[in-house]
Chains A and B, each alone.
Chain A
Amino acid sequence: MKMDGKIRVATDAKYKELYNNMKGNGVVEDFHALFFVCACLGFKNKKMTPIKKRDDRFWSGTITPSEWSCYYAIILEQNGFDFTKVSDEKEIMEVIERYANSGMEILIDEFLEDFLLPSSKKTIPQLDNAVCKTLPKQFVHFIFELSEPDRLE
């Protein structure tokens, strides 16, 4: 695992504000963390959405080894453990970006909806800071709940 730190990881441009808001409200430490959540969500739902308008969000150097290993595992499982599919980390990230993109859609639909400024919902989603006091806790709770069936197994 090379864990290349020089890849520009992108999200859809329309999620730029949301990424900034989530970091600004202390919901996530950094962009890579939110990206990881979205990627996991997208993968869990087996949904990939191509990015319409690429917008570089962060350098892959911020991605932790644990996150990298999960990305590798996702690609390997998706491709019947074909290790040739993980030989190029840029390609890995391109797939993961699409998972993350769909993951963000799911996140908005299933969780962030109530925390967004109503006017922003149909355009560029933005958090309504006035209702975000306990968002960090509710965010973790939401993610944790998603893993519940697997944990119980």
Chain B
Amino acid sequence: MKIENFRQFRGIQEIEFINPSLPEGNVTVIFGENGRGKTGLFRAIMFCLFGERRLSQDGGVSHKEIQLVNTSALEATEGAPVRTSVDLEFMHDKKIYNLRRAIRGMIDAGQIIEEEDEKKLIVTIDGNSKTLATSEIDPTINNILDRRVKDYFLFDGEKIERLTRANIEQQKEISAGIRNLLNVDALETSIRIIGRVAKTIDRELSDSSNEELSRIMNRLSDNEEEQNRLQQQIEGLANEIRLARHEIEKTDNELEKFNEIRHLLERRKSLERELNTLEQQAKDFLAEMRNQVCKAASLIVAPTVINVFEHIEHQKQKGEIPSEIRHDLIERIINEKRCICGNDICEGSESYNHIMDWLKRTKDIKTQDVALSLWRHLGDVRNHFGDDASIVERNLQQYGNITSDIANINRNLENVRNQIGTSERQDATKLEGHRKSLQDNIISLIANDRRAQEQFEQLKQENDRLRALLKEEKLKVGLNDEMSRRSILVRDTQDALTEVYNQFTCEIKKLIGDSATQIFRELLDKEGRDNLRTIVVNDDYSLQVLDRYKKPFLANISAGQRQIMSISIIAALAITASQGKKIEIPLFMDTPFGRLSYEHRQHLINIVPTFASQWVLLATDTEFRRQEAQLLKNGGKWAKFYLLHSTGEGNTEIRQQDIDSAQVILRDEEEYQ
């Protein structure tokens, strides 16, 4: 492929994909950071083949919004037109095709205008070249590859994920894919038109026939009208069910937001619980504080207590308390002036003075009792000072810790409450309620649908019966003229075509299911292979994966398995589009490794090259590292390696690299982290 001023690629640049007929391998790696133009290369191929600017992954972006002409080239020419072209050389059915498509772009009044310029196709057969007329180009290309299936050759992460989600878009996508693959539009139109012809003939017949024949035809006509009405009703119901499911999905997404704050709600609950416990503890401590009051207050008079205690203690040690001689005995001796030994004691004598000295040192019995009692109590008080001080101090400290914890929790709570918002409970309840009513609605719609389907089926059987009766009656009444032969033939044709259509659709669904299953099981790791058995395309085009017990398991598969399943489905569509042969056009995969485990990556790298004749791997540094490069190299299928190099101003240069240089260019997982 040669490109000129196409999107990020300024000037003329070339990229040579591998030649599948050569033994060098069939894998091309195009490596570049996001925005370098990896997908742009696939777009260039699609533009060249079909003149198509949009890819399915562009979503709602309109055709006109996608600019193909390189911006810096446009700016450099200062108003002069810039040519943008893609030249593609490829081989199909032993013929070489050289296709060129070009446009011209210019800036006019600040707007970029792009116009078609050139379209040219040269076909070379056995060395003889022929330029086809412009009008022949599109049919020729379309004959090689139907433009409706073009998107199945580019896988991108986003689309891959979407495919296995059970929703309306997925069903439409698969349904459209299968219809595109079948190319059954003409068949559908035929069935519709033949139905109309049959009605017209029957009306004419009815006018010129006998009463019984006319009655049967009228009933048949009524039945068919009823059938049409039911058909519309069924379609309407299906649409309503889809819309309701879509709404449920939206509601689930909303509810998912509450899931996101669920951890916050739990955190709030746990903080509130913790706060309650601490507040109760604080309350208990406060209640305990009043018991500490007297202990703390006694510490204020501790010096006095100790002083008095020590004073009494000292008196005790001196023997003054209790006195060695009783105070009342000495008083009696002095009063009677006679000693206990019988000697008289005269006032002023040496003995008298001695006894008086005794008297001073002794205390009366009452005072002694008080002193001793006080000594004991003060001793108790004094002994508890240390413990009391520790207890009060510890309690104050613990209370302080608790209040500090409470303050912290209140701060955290405030934070969590702010994050949660205020009305979440009501909103969640409302949404749950809405979801439930939607669910109820779906159940009743499904019941209506089932009833309508049954009625439809009954009418169909009744119609078959009436048609047989009509045929019989026509023969019986001898109205075997040209008109009735036509009528019978038209009805038979319509039935046959419908049968073909149904069978064909059914077969292709099975074919895609089988093909997807085969690839799926090859790509899966051992554990996945043990559990996941079959991919099924259901009647309503939804996808399902069955486990080893043949039970639906799609809802339970991992993100990696989901990606593997999607790759398998798209590969199956691509293989079917290639009519069961090896996929001829390059199979592009944009960052397919994202969610895959090492084993899955290994399988993908080994298996894709076996069913695609060319595999173009568009990779970024986050998913294509030395490990993957080594795997690819070991597989022996890696032939080309291109690096999309930024040259500034949003431009990209395609640089071919030696495969061995990958180990230098790429990084290890650890380096990336």
Contacts and interface: CB of A to CB of B under 8 A. Distances in A.
Interface of A: 1, 26-29, 33-34, 36-37, 40-41, 43-44, 64-70, 72-74, 76-77, 81, 83-84, 86-87, 134, 136-137, 139-141, 143-144, 146-147, 150-151
Contacts of A137: 285-286, 289, 396, 399
Given A140-B289, A141-B396, 10 more contacts: A33-B294, A37-B293, A41-B300, A69-B378, A70-B298, A72-B370, A83-B371, A134-B286, A144-B392, A150-B302
Contacts of B286: 26, 134, 136-137
Main secondary structure of the interface of B (DSSP, over half): helix
Nearest to B286: A136
Contact of A140 (B311, B371, B380, B392): B392
B377 interface: yes
A143 B300 contact: yes
Interface in B272-303: 285-287, 289-294, 296-303
16 contacts: A33-B293, A37-B294, A41-B297, A64-B294, A70-B305, A72-B378, A74-B301, A76-B311, A81-B308, A83-B371, A86-B374, A87-B367, A140-B392, A143-B299, A147-B389, A150-B300
Nearest to A67: B294
Given A64-B294, A139-B293, A141-B396, A72 B367 contact: no
Given A73-B305, A76-B308, A40 B300 contact: yes
Contacts of B396: 137, 140-141, 144
A86 B287 CA distance: 35
Interface in B468-511: none
Interface of B: 285-287, 289-294, 296-305, 307-309, 311, 363, 366-367, 370-371, 373-374, 377-378, 380-381, 389, 392-393, 395-396, 399, 403
Given A74-B301, A77-B308, A69 B289 contact: no
B381 A150 contact: no
Contacts of B395: 140
B377 A68 contact: yes
B467 to A, nearest CB: 92
Given A44-B301, A137-B396, A147 B296 contact: yes
Contacts of B287: 26, 136
A134 B399 CA distance: 10
A70 B303 CA distance: 11
A44 B389 CA distance: 18
B367 A136 contact: no
A73 B308 contact: yes
A140 B292 contact: yes
**Residue of B297, B305, B308 with highest tally of chain A CB at under 10 A:** B297
A66 B385 CA distance: 12
Contact of B296 (A29, A77, A144): A144
B378 A29 contact: no
**Residue of B287, B304, B305, B381 with highest tally of chain A CB at under 10 A:** B304
A28 B287 CA distance: 9
A37 B380 contact: no
Nearest to B367: A83
A40 B301 contact: yes
Contact of B293 (A73, A140, A146): A140
A143 B305 contact: no
A93 B392 CA distance: 28
Given A26-B286, A81-B308, A144-B393, A65 B377 contact: yes
A72 B374 contact: yes
Nearest to A82: B367
B304 A73 contact: yes
A124 B366 CA distance: 43
A83 B291 CA distance: 31
A27 B293 contact: yes
Contact of B370 (A44, A86, A147): A86
A36 B300 CA distance: 11
A87 to B, nearest CB: 7
**Residue of A44, A146, A147 with highest tally of chain B CB at under 10 A:** A147
Contact of B300 (A66, A134, A146): A146
Contacts of A76: 308, 311, 374
B302 A147 contact: yes
Closest 6 CB pairs of A and B: A147-B299, A69-B377, A73-B308, A136-B289, A143-B296, A40-B300
B300 A73 contact: no
A137 B402 CA distance: 12
Given A29-B290, A64-B294, A140-B392, A147 B373 contact: no
Contacts of B367: 83-84, 87
B639 to A, nearest CB: 80
Contacts of B291: 29
B80 to A, nearest CB: 83
B377 to A, nearest CB: 4
A67 B297 CA distance: 10
A47 B286 CA distance: 31
Contact of A87 (B290, B308, B366, B393): B366
Contacts of B302: 147, 150-151
